[in-house]
Amino acid sequence: MEEHYDPADILAQKVDKLAAMVQESRHLVAFTGAGISTTAGIPDFRGPDGKWTREAQGKKALVGVQAVKAFPTPTHMSLVDLHKRGKLKYVISQNCDGIHRRSGLPASAISELHGNCNVEICEDCGQQYFRDFRCDRIKPKACDHFTGRFCKCNGRLLNSTIDFGQGLPERPFERAREHSSKADLHLALGSSLTVSPANHMPSRTVKSGGKLIICNLQKTPLTSMAEFQIFAKTDVVMEMLMERLSYSVPPFRLVRRVILGITAEELYAKAVDVHDPTVEVYHICAVDWDGKGVPEQALRDPMIAAAQGGAHRRAVAGIKLQNLRPCLHFVGHYNEPPLQLAADLSGSEGSTSPKVLDLLLTFDPYERTWKSTCQELEFASVVVDDAKIPDYGPSHHEYCVTKVMQARGCSLKDAEKVVNDRMIEGMKAIGHSP
């Protein structure tokens, strides 16, 4: 599809108008597509060198940066800042690259309609887990999305990316519809707006009386519905917009949250979700508690070590709780060096309420330096229920049953049995009792 670029004076006029609309907006929603990640090194789909474009020409798709190593773009970071300021109410995305979440946007603020390659969802309770590695299913070509890991409720964890022909989970779609209907301004960034039903969200805003602005180099099926379209790269537009709003585009910082605590017999360190400390995530591959080093395997294959999950533990016996110096080793997609902490868990011995430290760790990937802040964790933290997708398990089961019926030409009852038998066999194969 042909790309267009606005002349500098026209571009400036359009961004001036957009800035005024953003300032006046009471419910701004952003809709993002693959175009916002191209400057992070991830190819788009329908651009001149996009995946679908090249395949249609008989060419191989370009190999870009691994998504887990990609740096959020100025567009990503502008959206994070606008959300923190309360100006941006919600993000709806077609992207599966995980960059929105890594940039600092909480799960409760985004509907990732096509899933996220770094997110697992519990089949039973719908809890999301944002990982530091690709959440691939055990059988890559099978319809069953099971990754081999389990939720704290013991439900199977499922890869969250949506297959062609698989229905979208209702909860993210419902929240996208709700915010699109409320929006007085919908900003579509880097999307061809051709994929249904995701592209119904911006048009929903227009039909509800709101305004649509499109920023994309190619014309879209919704261009005629928009107040105007900006033909420029999204990073250029967002940097200009933030300047007109008198905001700065924040630099990317990798934020990790670690809980350091003690039981009657063990010390433990576990990585948790930045926005919800009740949800464990797997960002740490090893912990050196006493300066004696960590297993070579953990350093040689940090993603595999991290993916094995769980808290990192060490017996309390023989270690001084007042002068703890645990050294955390991370997966290291951004070349994070190990971080040695200074902590005091003394006074916990024999206590009915042992001390638990809540560590917020911030990594500057440009200077390769860590900063940490610490507080005593209050476990009365509110669980972010908006981040759960309770219908994902049932919709995934329905998809698997349908695929078996199509492949075997069997009845619903027989297909249900096949899917359930496969699920039990898969769990037994990894030593987990159904």
CB 67 within 8 A of CB 97: yes
Q: Is 234 exposed, middle or buried (0-12, 13-18, 19+ CB in 10 A)?
A: buried
* Closest C-alpha to 371, from 286, 256, 289: 256
Determine the Cα–Cα distance for residues 237 and 37; give it in Å rounded to an integer: 14
* DSSP string over 270-292: EEEETTEEEEE---EEEEESSSS
Which one is catalytic: 114, 145, 312, 396?
A: 114
Buried b (16+ CB within 10 A) or exposed e, 171-199: bbbebbbebbbebbbbbbbbbbbeeeebb
* Strand 88-93 versus strand 28-32 pairing type: parallel
- Is 76 designated active site? no
Determine the Cα–Cα distance for residues 291 and 336; give it in Å rounded to an integer: 19
The H or E element that residue 12 is part of is helix 8-24
Q: What is the CA radius of gyration of the chain?
A: 23
**Which of the residues are catalytic?**
114
